[in-house]
């Protein structure tokens, strides 16, 4: 299995060199956000107000980490189901967000927006939260501390493992992988 290094934040060139099914190790800065934070961001957008974080070029990781034990940077931090963010994602991609990381399939609207805006959807291993937390060297809340685990964190990560699910060309590893390994009855 080949693995590519990916430096975050991303450029269009970074996005366009990757294809569905590629395995990557992400290093750099990523932001967290899940249901409640997405709703707040999109409410601001609709009201024509500025966002608390400049999302251009950034990756959003759908995660609500467990509390950090004393001496740890972050608690266990695996991906949550991405489909719940489908309603919000196209608006953020249009704003310049380059990628999101979660688990599980996306709507056709999100896949179309990834093609239109040159974006990526990646998945990390759901349930591998203790392993994924070890790739995080720094975590700080940058918006909505009142949301607790759902606040927006800025994370510094090194070699965070993920797989490209949907690329900027319409590729989908969930569909392709299933076709490859399905045994018809």
Partner 1 sequence: MREIKVAEISKAVFMLFLDANYDLGEDVLASLQAALQVEPSPTGRNVLEQLIVNAEIARDEQVPMCQDTGYAVVFAELGQDVRVVGGDFYAAVNEGVRQAYIDGFLRKSIVADPLNRVNTGDNTPAVIHVEIVPGDKIRLIVAPKGGGSENMSAVRMLKPADGAKGVMDFVVDTVSRAGSNPCPPVVVGVGIGGTMEKVALIAKKALLRKLGEPHPDSFYAGMERDLLEKINKLGIGPQGYGGRTTALAVHIETYPAHIASLPAAVNINCHASRHKERVL
Residue 80 interacts with partner 1 (CB under 8 A): yes or no: yes
Residue 128 interacts with partner 1 (CB under 8 A): yes or no: yes
CB closer to partner 1, 27 vs 81:
81
Write down the least CB distance from residue 56 to partner 1, Å.
Answer: 28
Write down the least CB distance from residue 95 to partner 1, Å.
Answer: 26
Q: In this structure, what is the dihedral angle of CA atoms 23, 150, 69, 102, given to the nearest 10 degrees?
A: -10
CB closer to partner 1, 49 vs 179:
179
Q: In this structure, what is the dihedral angle of CA atoms 24, 30, 31, 33, given to the nearest 10 degrees?
A: 0
- List, in sequence order, every residue forming a beta bridge with 59; answer none if it has no partner: 99
- List, in sequence order, every residue forming a beta bridge with 154; answer none if it has no partner: 31, 140
C-alpha to C-alpha distance for 123 and 121, rounded to whole angstroms? 7
Position among 28, 52, 57, 83 found at the interface with partner 1 (CB under 8 A): 83
Residue 144 interacts with partner 1 (CB under 8 A): yes or no: no
Longest dimension (CA), the chain: 54
Residue 27 interacts with partner 1 (CB under 8 A): yes or no: no
Say which residues have a Cβ less than 8 Å from residue 47's Cβ, sequence separation at least 6: none
The answer to whether residues 78 and 127 touch, using CB atoms and an 8 Å cutoff, is yes
The number of residues in the chain equals 185
In the numeric block, the tokens 């961001």 are attached to: 41
Write down the least CB distance from residue 45 to partner 1, Å.
Answer: 21
Site string for partner 1, 49-78 (x = CB under 8 A): --------------xxxxxxx--x--xxxx
Binding site for partner 1 (CB under 8 A): 1, 21, 23, 63-69, 72, 75-78, 80-81, 83, 103-105, 123, 125-131, 133-134, 148-149, 161, 163, 173-174, 176-185
């Amino acid at each position: 299995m080949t693995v590519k290094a990916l430096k975050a934040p991303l450029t269009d060139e970074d996005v366009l060199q990757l294809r569905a099914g590629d395995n990557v190790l992400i290093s750099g800065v990523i932001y967290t956000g899940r249901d409640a934070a997405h709703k707040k961001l999109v409410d601001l957008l609709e009201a024509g107000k500025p966002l608390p974080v400049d999302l251009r070029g950034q990756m959003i990781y759908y995660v609500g980490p467990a509390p950090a034990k004393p001496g740890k940077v972050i608690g266990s931090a695996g991906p949550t189901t991405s489909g719940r963010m489908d309603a919000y994602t196209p608006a953020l991609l249009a704003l310049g967000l380059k990628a999101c990381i979660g688990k599980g399939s996306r709507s056709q609207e999100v896949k179309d927006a990834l093609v239109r805006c040159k974006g990526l959807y990646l998945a990390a291993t759901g349930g591998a939260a203790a392993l994924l937390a070890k790739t995080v060297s720094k975590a700080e809340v940058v918006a909505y501390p009142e949301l607790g685990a759902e606040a927006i964190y800025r994370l510094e990560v090194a070699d965070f493992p993920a797989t490209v699910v949907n690329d900027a060309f319409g590729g989908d590893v969930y569909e392709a992988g299933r076709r490859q390994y399905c045994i018809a009855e």
